[in-house]
A and B are shown apart, each in its own frame.
Chain A
Amino acid sequence: MSERIRVLVAKPGLDGHDRGAKVIATAFRDAGFEVIYTGLHQTPEMIVTAAVQEDVDVVSLSILSGAHMGLFQRIIDLLKAQGADDLLLIGGGIIPPDDIVELKKIGVAEIFGPGTPTTTPIEYIKTHFAAKRAAK
């Protein structure tokens, strides 16, 4: 894989608050990532199409609407159908602890809740890909 880490930052669903997504997109850029930012109201189909076409290493979703279980499940199903489920899927937003356990079972790598410093997901991503490269 490339030295440059490419990340898709997207907001699925109907809620209209994209401040968090913009903050994380900027922090990712400053960490040296190439961020593909798709903005609000993305359907799972649009997110997966973008992830495939842009050949991203990470899909980072911001979900505040409460519809996270269904959205993540649908995105994972679509990624699998495309053979692209090897990428790192993470999320941020207001998600109850019990749901986080469930999401991790279906293939979400990590969820970062409100108040998480932006350095936490950045370090998480960097560590993940450093380990992956070392394994090769």
Chain B
Amino acid sequence: MRPIERWSENELADAVVRGDPRALAKVISAIEDETPRGREILDLLYRHTGRAYRVGLTGPPGSGKSTLTDLLARQIRAGGETVAVLAVDPSSPFSGGAILGDRIRMQTAAADPGVFIRSMASRGSLGGLAAATEQAAEALDAAGFDWVLIETVGVGQSEMEVVGVADTTLLVLVPESGDGVQVMKAGLMEAGDIFVINKYDREGGDRIQKEIQLLLSVLHDRWPKDAWLPPIVPTVAIREQGGAELLAEIRRHRVTSDERSSLDRRRQRTREQVSVLVRARFGKETWERMDLDARIESELDRVIAREISPYRLAETWTNELAERLGGKRREA
């Protein structure tokens, strides 16, 4: 047989749909590398997507997201459904390398063919981490997994965008997460469909639960009347406690959002996906074709010497692009 690198896009896509784990892994690599081959295969896979349910898990480092993901994966497997995990971790800004250690906490699910775990480094891609995550999730969806769990450290904008591709987002906190005001400050309250207080057996678990409950009820008063009130689920993932309750809440949220998911909302979401994708592709393509990395480099000294402003550069190059594109410029 020919080596997998030589397979055609069609052969690879077919193998993914059949559930071939090696083909799936190669396709995710092509997606991560933002290759034309990856895009071609995604195009072929798209009609096989739309069945998997996506759950995002985010929260501060050390809150036990990986252990919780493992627990959730096993809970799903116990019900006979299959599950894929995307574990996103930051790349080192210094070397571009990364240590992806989420598999350490996912041992129990690691040797089960109904579980597929993939670690992704955030890299520094122009295409955007959220786009790469969404595309990897689509490949996993096309491969037939019933659930896709997306796990990431929730500390920045790009991580919040990552969980934005999920159907249900879990915000994972611990008793040490501090008082509710800090959670509110971080702008996290609005991001979670379900709040998980992991390591609940530790000092302060019930206190943070009460505070979040209070904050949620205050917020909830300002939301539309039929808005989903995020439940708070205590867990002790390391001792396998709370998994069943958590999965039940996720299913409840799923049913509720399915009922409310009007055509309008689906259109809104699709519009967003297409816009983000096209914007990213346009940005990357333009950037490379206009050789902007090199041009910025060659202007740096002049900008530092205040001989030219960054604003002038942006204006000049934008005009150049507009001219190349031809046609009329829309007046703002």
Chain A residues engaging chain B, CB cutoff 8 angstroms: 1-4, 6, 25-26, 28-39, 43, 45-46, 49-50, 52-55, 82-84, 86
Contact = CB atoms under 8 A, between A and B. Distances in A.
B117 A53 contact: yes
Contact of A31 (B26, B91, B97, B103): B97
Contact of B29 (A2, A29, A35, A83): A2
Contacts of B98: 29, 34-35
A30 B99 CA distance: 9
A34 B25 CA distance: 15
13 contacts: A2-B29, A4-B121, A29-B95, A29-B99, A33-B97, A34-B97, A37-B99, A38-B104, A50-B103, A50-B117, A53-B21, A53-B118, A83-B1
B99 A55 contact: no
A41 to B, nearest CB: 8
Contact of A26 (B96, B99, B103, B104): B99
B33 interface: yes
Contacts of B210: none
A131 B99 CA distance: 25
Contacts of B21: 52-53
B15 to A, nearest CB: 11
A49 B99 contact: no
B138 to A, nearest CB: 17
Contacts of B123: 4
Contacts of A45: 111
A7 to B, nearest CB: 9
Contacts of B118: 53-54
Q: Which applies to chain A's interface (DSSP): helix, strand, loop or mixed?
A: mixed
Which among A32, A34, A38 has the greatest number of chain B C-beta atoms within 10 A?
A: A34
A86 B4 CA distance: 10
A48 to B, nearest CB: 10
A25 B103 contact: no
Contacts of A4: 33, 96, 121, 123
Interface in B120-137: 121, 123
Interface size range on B against A: 20 to 34
A25 B111 contact: no
Interface string B29-59: 1001100000000000000000000000000
Contacts of A46: 107, 110-111
B97 A52 contact: no
Contacts of A83: 1, 4, 22
A25 B95 CA distance: 13
B28 interface: yes
A39 B104 contact: yes
B241 interface: no
B147 interface: no
A1 B277 CA distance: 24
Contacts of A38: 103-104, 110
Contacts of A86: 3
B33 A3 contact: yes
B89 to A, nearest CB: 9
Given A37-B103, A46-B110, A83-B4, A55 B97 contact: no
A30 B117 CA distance: 24
Contact of B103 (A30, A36, A43): A36
Contacts of A54: 25, 118-119
A36 B118 CA distance: 10
Nearest to B1: A83
